[in-house]
Amino acid sequence: MNKIRTVFKYELLTILRSRSFLLTLLLIPLAGLIVILVVSGLQRDNQAGSLTDMIAPPPEVSVLGLVDESGIIRGIPEPYSPYIKRFSDRQNAQAAIDAQEISGYYRIPADYMSRGEVELYRLDFNPMTGAENSILINQLLEENLLKENPQLLQRLRQPLQLETHYLSSEPQRDPNSSLTFFLPYGITILFYILILGSSSTMLSSITNEKQNRVMEVLLTSMTPTQMLTGKILALGTTGLLQTVFWSGSGYLLLGLSGRTFNLPVEFEIPISVLLWGILFFLLGYAMYASLMAGLGAMVPNLREASQATFLVIMPLIIPMFFVNTLIGQPNGTLSLILSFFPLTSPVAMMTRLAATSVPFWQPLLAALLQAGTAYIIVRSVAGMFRAQHLLAGQAFNYKLFLKALVGKA
């Protein structure tokens, strides 16, 4: 235990005194604070906008012309007049485009009632803007075709008013809001960066000590398991400190941004998600830091270790490819598999927790599976250090790495 404590204290103080660690710890929350202060200053004289509008602002609708050859449009109601300008024929509409009075024009053919087609002529190629502007002409046609039946027009505009009652006490997310996607997606990216960044520190530490022959000195006075345990605890503590500091800063900034961005109350992150986040970070870090340590034991230098890192982090990347499924179908079969498989669980389960309400037994089972896997990996990687003298100077070999991991090298 004393030897583990010695390694833990040395590694911890070395990292905490590192200038790069301190800069990374402070600069990210500082950048978030600067963004909030800048936006707050810009909105000081205006009404605070919604965060949803800032992420996905409403489209800018330009003035468009209208050439009606069908005679359907008998008049342009007042709400549409700033956006629709009527012309008698296509020549006048084209002249208005040339004079930059309008950005394009609609042509309603004489046979519109039989074919249902409307033509749009515009200079720029922007399918998204054109689709948004088509809402105007569609509503204008509805107004004129159903002018004599306003009740039918109202039902056509609002065919269903769905009122949803949530049985869960946790904050619910509006499925029509863009934040429903961006909040879990942001947490996915955050946990990927935290686990990968913290475990990569282990790879750098092991590789440098092996290259400088410090590893050989350490292994003469302690067992590989003691050395590895001390390093994992020290680097995990610094990673946890970083996670708690960033999460706490983010929580405070989220409250501050609620006043600046008019953040909806239902988008508050439950405290249970933060607690699960700390646990899953520690377990995910223990697994991937151990794998990185084994990788460092089997490569001659840091450059070759960086080239072989993809094999280790590949399971951590998989949830990134299926993030849309994890958010859109958090209780689907694929989401459950990714959240229970130990190597993908730290990121996948956190994405699900941020996207929906997950039964308590599921993250608990995922945590137990991760803890068991972490224990097995630590014991397996310790065996690599017993053989690391034989492997020193050799080029990295995937097959040899996998054999050493299962104790057959």
The arithmetic mean of pLDDT across residues 305-320, rounded, is 80
Ranked by mean pLDDT, the top range of 158-167, 168-177, 258-267 is 158-167
- Closest C-alpha to 267, from 363, 354, 176, 165: 354
Q: What is the pLDDT of residue 396?
A: 59
The radius of gyration of the chain from alpha carbons, rounded to an integer in Å, stands at: 30
pLDDT, the chain, mean: 75
Residue 50 CB partners (closer than 8 Å, separation 6+): 261, 262, 264
- Closest C-alpha to 113, from 154, 75, 144: 144
Ranked by mean pLDDT, the top range of 2-16, 61-75, 278-292, 356-370 is 356-370
Q: What is the pLDDT of residue 48?
A: 47
Q: How far apart, in Å, do the first and last CA atoms of the chain sit? A: 29
Q: What is the pLDDT of residue 254?
A: 62
Ranked by mean pLDDT, the top range of 123-137, 182-196, 201-215, 384-398 is 182-196
The arithmetic mean of pLDDT across residues 357-379, rounded, is 90
Give the residue, 131 or 295, on which the prediction is more confident.
295
Domains of the chain: 2-30+178-405 (no CATH), 64-157 (3.40.190)
Give the residue, 124 or 6, on which the prediction is more confident.
6
Residue position matching structure tokens 């306003």:
150
pLDDT tens-digit readout, 23-40: 877 887 787 777 766 766
The arithmetic mean of pLDDT across residues 243-259, rounded, is 67
The arithmetic mean of pLDDT across residues 272-280, rounded, is 84
Q: Which residue(s) pair with 65 in the sheet?
A: 85, 105
Q: What is the pLDDT of residue 289?
A: 85
Residue 327 — very low, low, confident or very high, per pLDDT cuts 50/70/90?
confident
Ranked by mean pLDDT, the top range of 63-77, 119-133, 232-246, 329-343 is 329-343
Residue 338 — very low, low, confident or very high, per pLDDT cuts 50/70/90?
very high
Q: Token pair for residue 129?
A: 């803007």
pLDDT tens-digit readout, 135-155: 778 878 887 777 777 777 677
Q: Tell me how far apart the alpha carbons of residues 69 and 222 are, in angstroms, rounded to a whole number.
A: 90
Ranked by mean pLDDT, the top range of 287-296, 299-308, 339-348 is 339-348
Q: What percentage of the chain reaches a pLDDT higher than 90? A: 8
Q: What is the 3-state secondary structure (H, E, C) of the chain?
A: CHHHHHHHHHHHHHHHCCHHHHHHHHHHHHHHHHHHHHHHHHCCCCCCCCHHHHHCCCCCCCCEEEEECCCCCCCCCHHHCCCEEEECCHHHHHHHHHCCCCCEEEEECCCHHHHCCCEEEECCCCHHHHHHHHHHHHHHHHHHHCCCCHHHHHHHHCCCCCCCCCCCCCCCCCCCCCHHHHHHHHHHHHHHHHHHHHHHHHHHHHHHHHHCCHHHHHHCCCCHHHHHHHHHHHHHHHHHHHHHHHHHHHHHHHHHHHHHCCCCHHHCCCHHHHHHHHHHHHHHHHHHHHHHHHHHHCCCCHHHHHHHHHHHHHHHHHHHHCHHHHHHCCCCHHHHHHHHCCCCHHHHHHHHHHHCCCCCHHHHHHHHHHHHHHHHHHHHHHHHHHCHHHHCCCCCCHHHHHHHHCCCC
The arithmetic mean of pLDDT across residues 267-277, rounded, is 76
pLDDT at 259 over 60: no
pLDDT at 255 over 90: no
Q: Report which residue type is found at 285.
A: Y
Residue 237 — very low, low, confident or very high, per pLDDT cuts 50/70/90?
confident
Q: Tell me how far apart the alpha carbons of residues 273 and 254 are, in angstroms, rounded to a whole number.
A: 15
Residue 219 — very low, low, confident or very high, per pLDDT cuts 50/70/90?
low
Q: What is the pLDDT of residue 375?
A: 87
Q: What is the pLDDT of residue 213?
A: 67
Q: Report which residue type is found at 104.
A: G
The arithmetic mean of pLDDT across residues 113-127, rounded, is 77
Residue 372 — very low, low, confident or very high, per pLDDT cuts 50/70/90?
very high
